[in-house]
Amino acid sequence: MPECRPSPKPAFVQAFRNLTGLPSYHYDAVFGRIVYEQFASTRPGVVALELPASFRPALEWAVSCWPTPVAAFERGRGSTMGIVVPLVPGDSMVEAFRLASQTGIEVALIDVDVSVPGEQRSEPTLAVGPEFAARPGDGFFTAVNALNNREEPLASDLAREAAMASALAALMARHESVWWVGGFAHWSRIVARLRSRDFSTPDTRPALRRRFTRARLGPSALMRLTGSYPAMVRAFGQAPAEFEPFDAMRTLLHEAAKPAPDHQDLSHALDERGAPPSEPAAAID
C-alpha cells in the first residue's frame, strides 16, 4: 500500500467541486500507476467505480488472486461465451478497488447493467497513446475528450451515465471527497449531467441477472481481451510504484531476444502463470 504523501496530480486528473475524476483507458497499466500515485498523495472519502453492484464478488475474488490476471465470464448459449470482464493488474478500476479495500475506504459500484435490443457499438476512434497521459498540461485530456465527443453515445451509455451521475450527486452530498474511476468516454457527459442536475434516462430495461464463471487469463487470452502484453501486466503487479511502460517494454524486448532454454518446451518457458486459489484448473487461453 502506498504511503500517503502530498504530490502534484497528473494534468489529466479532473475535478468538479468535491469530485475527482480519474478517467482512464481500461486495462492500461499507465492509468493503474496514476491511480496508485493518487492514493499515495491523498485519501478520498469514497471511491466510485464504473461497475454495477453485482460485480463486487468478482472484484473481491480478483483482488484475492493478485497479481494473477483473471476474468469473470458468463456462458452464452451452447458452447459460445457471453460477456467477459477481464480483471487484471494495472486496470484503473481494479487498482482503485484493491487499494481502497486495503485502507478501509468505502467503494461504491454505481454503474447499472442495462439492455437495449439490437444496439451495436461502432468501431472506436483511434485513441491517443496512453504514454502521453502523464505529460504536463491538459493536452492529453483535451485531445481524448475531443475524439470521444465525435462519437454518438448509445442509449445504454446515456442510461448508465444518468445513473452514475445521480449516484455521484448523492455521494458528493455525503462525503467531503469523492473519486470516480472509469472509462474516459463517460466522464464529460457525467459532469454535464451533474452541472445541470439532469438525471433523466432513455427507455431501457435492466439486463438479465448475470451468472459468472471465474478463470485465470492465459497469455493469448490476455492479449486478445485487453491488448496488454503479459510481461507488462506482470511488471505492474510486481512493482506498481515503479511501473514505467517504456522500461517494461524494453525489458520485454530484451527477454524476447534471448534464445529459448535448451531441453525445455518453449510454451512452458514463456508461461509462468500461477493459478488463482479458488479455481486452479480454470483458464481462458
pLDDT tens sequence across 139-184? 888 888 888 888 889 999 999 999 999 999 999 999 999 999 999 9
- C-alpha cell at position 73: 465470464
CA atoms of 85 and 75, how far apart (whole Å) = 12
Residue type, 23: P
CA atoms of 104 and 55, how far apart (whole Å) = 19
Q: What is the pLDDT of residue 196?
A: 98
Quote the DSSP letter at residue 45: S
What parts of the chain have a pLDDT lower than 70? 1-12, 76-81, 124-126, 261-285
Q: What is the pLDDT of residue 263?
A: 46
Find the radius of gyration of the CA atoms of the chain. Answer: 19
